[in-house]
A and B are shown apart, each in its own frame.
Chain A
Amino acid sequence: GENVEQHPSTLSVQEGDSAVIKCTYSDSASNYFPWYKQELGKGPQLIIDIRSNVGEKKDQRIAVTLNKTAKHFSLHITETQPEDSAVYFCAARGGNTGFQKLVFGTGTRLLVSP
């Protein structure tokens, strides 16, 4: 089955710096890669996703890149702000049938210091 690895487990940056979180997946048939942000006491909130027919997607300060050959994808946050502090999860889904479970990485705790 699918396995998703996520690094780093914790990331501390200064406000205004960029943050990069990386994930690798094992199943070459995976074709959907969402990123979720989870704040304390809340459920995961989708912040951006990418599908396998696209190499990069950007939404304001957030971007995701996908390298299908290497089977890895990354989240890039520019101009970080204290409110970006949260746990971020990557996930992968897809396969040879139409209904597959979403497999999550282990999460990255991002701390943005003012």
Chain B
Amino acid sequence: KAGVTQTPRYLIKTRGQQVTLSCSPISGHRSVSWYQQTPGQGLQFLFEYFSETQRNKGNFPGRFSGRQFSNSRSEMNVSTLELGDSALYLCASSPRGLNQETQYFGPGTRLLVL
């Protein structure tokens, strides 16, 4: 099976712009979670989608949003970008998102905000 794919791999934006990142889960996986990784804060949970519904949400401002499509592909959007949004954004998929299921990560999208 193909792994989790994320596009684009790299992005450069300026403050105030918005950005959309895409994630395609492993075939058959219906749960997609998003994480932000920074040197200072480590890996932090953004949100999780299952069957097109947001099921869990981390402690991020409303500028961070996401959605999931009927084919389980997911997008996340960050509006009004700030310098502090520069990070590696990772998505992970699992079959149903249950507590004891393994999550498989994609390679990430590295976002630089200037």
Contact = CB atoms under 8 A, between A and B. Distances in A.
Interaction A to B: yes
Interface of A: 31-32, 34, 36, 41-46, 49, 51, 89, 93-95, 98-107
B100 A99 contact: no
- The 7 A-B residue pairs whose C-beta atoms are closest, nearest first, are A43-B105, A104-B43, A101-B45, A32-B100, A94-B99, A43-B107, A44-B105
Contacts of A32: 99-101
Nearest to A52: B100
Residue of B42, B43, B97, B102 most packed against chain A (CB within 10 A): B43
A43 B90 contact: yes
A51 B42 contact: no
Given A34-B102, A94-B99, A102 B45 contact: yes
B102 A100 contact: no
A89 B106 CA distance: 15
B33 to A, nearest CB: 7
A49 B103 CA distance: 11
Contact of A99 (B4, B43, B92, B98): B98
Contacts of B107: 41-43
A55 to B, nearest CB: 16
Nearest to B46: A101
B75 interface: no
B55 interface: yes
A106 B41 CA distance: 8
A44 B100 CA distance: 18
Contacts of B33: 101-102
Interface in B61-114: 90, 92, 97-108
A100 B90 contact: no
A74 B113 CA distance: 37
A12 B44 CA distance: 26
Given A101-B56, A103-B45, A46 B99 contact: no
A41 B92 CA distance: 16
Given A44-B90, A95-B99, A107-B42, A101 B58 contact: yes
B108 A43 contact: yes
